[in-house]
Amino acid sequence: MARILKKEQWSENIFSMLIEARDVAKAAKQGQFIILITKEHGERVPLTIADSSVDEGWVQIVFQVVGKSTLELSRMNEGEELFSFVGPLGMASEVEKFPGKVIMIGGGIGIAPIHPIARKLKEMGNYVVSIIGAKTKELLIMEDKIQEASSEVIVATDDGSKGKKGFVNVVLEEYLAKEAENVSKIWAIGPPIMMKACTISAGKFNKPIIVSLNPIMVDGTGMCGACRVTVGGETKFACVDGPEFDGALVDFDELMARQRQYVELERKALELYKAKEGIA
Amino acid sequence: MAERLRPAEKFKRDRVPMREQDPKERIKNFDEVPYGYSLEEAIAEAQRCLQCKPPSCVEGCPAEVHIPEFIDKIIDEDIEGAFKEIKLTNALPAVCGRVCPQEEQCEGACIMLKKGKPIAIGRLERFVADWARERGLTDEPPKEKKQKRVAIVGSGPAGLACAADLANLGYDVTIFEALHKPGGVLVYGIPEFRLPKAIVQYEVDQIKRLGVKIFTDYVIGYIKTVDELVEEYDAVFLANGAGAPSFLHIPGENLNGVYSASEFLTRSNLMRAFDFPEYDTPIKVGKRVVVIGGGNVAMDAVRTAKRLGAEEAIIVYRRSRAEMPARAEEIEHAEAEGIQFELLTNPVRVLGDENGNVKGLECVRMKLGEPDESGRRRPIPIEGSNFVMDVDNVIIAIGQNANPIVARSATGVKTNKWGYFIADEQTGKTTHPKVWAGGDIVTGAATVILAVGAGKKAARSIHETLSQE
């Protein structure tokens, strides 16, 4: 179980893996996530599902190397087994046939989790406009799959190396300035700062926006409360009440502060691991 | 073989004390606190048993352990026989011998309690179980297998006890566990210094030897629904635990440095954050740590905080010492380890610094009023008594709510207004004819031994029902 069937390196720090997990693939719905542990000593790492195949029995994860656990994961190879792989977790995205267009915004590796939601929405007959953005064209991922899952795709890069130059929230605002009356729903997934900016942009046009939150988690099943977020003035557990929430109600500043909780310890763990493994 | 004492001699003798790690040393490690009896100590304690007929101690034991019988075998130095006697009814003797509140169970019903020195049944059970484990004694799977299949949700004490009894009767039993290790609260909740994880693992392995299959990383409610289990199995036992931490709903509760006891203990126990960076899960413990609550979980959390390096680890509890729900033994252990107690004190808000980290806890002093519905005197705030404690961490250990994941996938299994399954106290039967439930997801947070008892009752009822089909 949980064998790495396929591993691809998409950029210096972005990897994709297909993990053998037949039952998870069968149950997975758009917007849900998994938690994995690399090896026995590992921590529980939540990752949103990028794709899955019931026939072939795999779940795709896409991750960026940011700390020890993701670095260790990136160094595991095809054929190796993960110590633990559990899912699907969290509530599925609430999808339906919306009256107008639906905008899907993916920033950085946040492009991966919008893929299954966009695909599902398109299957249901929605007109899906995907706005995908990255720092630079080398970091732009899954463009082909997003094309397939969308009716229209707008690409943006911070440095203008591909598509429009600028942040996705600016592209969103430009789009809404022309098309606001035809847009009935927006999803935005990416770093909290990007989701916050998109929420502000959507708010200017009074458009509902769903965001997928990625706070620190431990069990991921509502048991510990590590992932608590403030939504509409109430404490929610992102793992079981979310991960998706109405962006307009989310306290993004608190989310960002909570994500920084262990930065020094995480840095220390990364340095020790690099020294031990002889990684520059 | 040791001699049988005359009753007068039995009354004269005192309980054999249990040796334990020096408090000054043990606050620096996670090793178990009590050392356990030696053979000589166990025999001396066993000799004091009156061998009552009928034995009142057994009535106090939800695991129905054959107490006088196993104790008598200790006197004969037949420890293997004693072990087999215990194992007839209890699959988790090393666990129960350590974490049961014996003073409320078997020892609370012991006739010798009248003399103020009940037989140390828990210590004897622990001795026998450890003796057997050290010698690698194993259980034998039943010879006859039944064709009926039972699914159990959760591998905590209720699920394990139910699984063992049904497996011994020959049923084909499968347990589904949400976490990556089996044991439930025994592995994520109770600290190593009170219940070493290797011991839990050993008793779980014994249950596997009976033929029980355990799927870890399998969250019923997501990967499969209870409805699907009902289709696939002849009976389903829901023992998923309470599983959702309560918070105080006071300002500042989401500041960095505030933990639920569940998170704090899960990081340390299940994820072994105490061994960071050997293990990858971090935990942050400052110089001054406050734990809010007065139960066993609060004691576990505060003693863990001390071991993780807190210079001061403090219990804040809104009632007085007399109302604290924690076991006397746990409170005494905590006191010996230098834990401070701010009693009749209630938190009002958590104060943070500019980076979102905890820096203080504002509290108010309380006084006790008239008894409330729980029979305990109700704490009332004393106006104008607010004060601020400088603290680095706040750990909230005020109880659990019902986790809804399993329940919302179980059509026809009714819950009460708090989200706990409605189940018959004697049989564990729910409102669905193929579904039983027991443990904390029925009663709300309780003890390991009550969960074991619920698992056994459900096993008996499932057997009765499936035998009639």
Cβ pair B263:A235 closer than 8 A: no
What is the structure's pLDDT at A258?
Answer: 96
10 Å CB burial of residue B167 (0-12, 13-18, 19+) is buried
Cβ pair A44:B271 closer than 8 A: yes
What is the structure's pLDDT at B115?
Answer: 87
What is the structure's pLDDT at A243?
Answer: 97
3-state secondary structure of B214: strand
Chain B residues whose CB is inside 8 A of the A257 CB are: 256, 355-356
State the smallest CA–CA distance between residue B217 and chain A in angstroms.
Answer: 5
CB of B180 within 8 Å of a chain A CB? The answer is yes
Chain A CA closest to residue B180: A84
- Segment A211-221 shows an average pLDDT of 96
Percent of chain A with pLDDT over 90: 99
3-state secondary structure of B288: strand
* Residue B163 CB partners (closer than 8 Å, separation 6+): B91, B152, B155, B173, B175, B207, B210, B212, B455
C-beta of residue B121 within 8 angstroms of C-beta of residue B82: no
pLDDT category of residue A257 using cuts at 50, 70 and 90: very high
CA A44 to chain centre: 16
Chain A residues whose CB is inside 8 A of the B278 CB are: 41
The region that residue B36 occupies, defined by phi over 0 for left and psi between -120 and 50 for alpha, beta otherwise, is left
Q: Which of B246, B281, B359, B398 is the best residue to mutate to test the A interface, defined by the most A CB atoms within 10 Å of its own CB? A: B281
Other CB atoms within a 10 A radius of the CB of residue A124 amount to: 13
3-state secondary structure of A118: helix
What is the structure's pLDDT at B374?
Answer: 78
10 Å CB burial of residue B221 (0-12, 13-18, 19+) is buried
What is the structure's pLDDT at B412?
Answer: 94
Q: For A219, which of B266, B277, B282 is closest by C-beta distance?
A: B266
- Segment A65-69 shows an average pLDDT of 95
Chain A CA closest to residue B281: A43
Q: For B403, which of A68, A223, A268 is closest by C-beta distance?
A: A223
CB of B222 within 8 Å of a chain A CB? The answer is yes
* Residue B311 CB partners (closer than 8 Å, separation 6+): B287, B288
What is the structure's pLDDT at B207?
Answer: 97
Chain B residues whose CB is inside 8 A of the A43 CB are: 271, 279-282
What is the structure's pLDDT at B445?
Answer: 86
Average pLDDT, chain B: 95
Pairing of strands B235-238, B149-153: parallel
Say what the pTM is: 0.95
10 Å CB burial of residue A209 (0-12, 13-18, 19+) is buried
Walk along chain B (469 residues) and give the pLDDT tens digit of each residue: 788 999 899 999 999 999 999 999 999 999 999 999 999 999 999 999 999 999 999 999 999 999 999 999 999 999 999 999 999 999 999 999 999 999 999 999 999 999 889 999 999 999 999 999 999 998 888 888 999 999 999 999 999 999 999 999 999 999 999 999 999 999 999 999 999 999 999 999 999 999 999 999 999 999 999 999 999 999 999 999 988 999 999 999 999 999 999 999 999 999 999 999 999 999 999 999 999 999 999 999 999 999 999 999 999 999 999 899 999 889 999 999 999 999 999 999 999 999 899 999 999 999 999 888 878 889 999 999 999 999 999 999 999 999 999 999 999 999 999 999 999 999 999 999 999 999 999 999 889 999 999 999 999 999 999 999 7
| Cα–Cα distance measured from residue B18 to residue A73, given in angstroms and rounded to the nearest whole number | 46
What is the structure's pLDDT at B139?
Answer: 83
Q: What separation in angstroms does the CA of A95 have from each of A7, A24, B133, B136?
A: 30, 20, 54, 55
What is the structure's pLDDT at B138?
Answer: 87
Residues A150-198: tens digit of each pLDDT? 999 999 999 999 999 999 999 999 999 999 999 999 999 999 999 999 9
What is the structure's pLDDT at B372?
Answer: 83
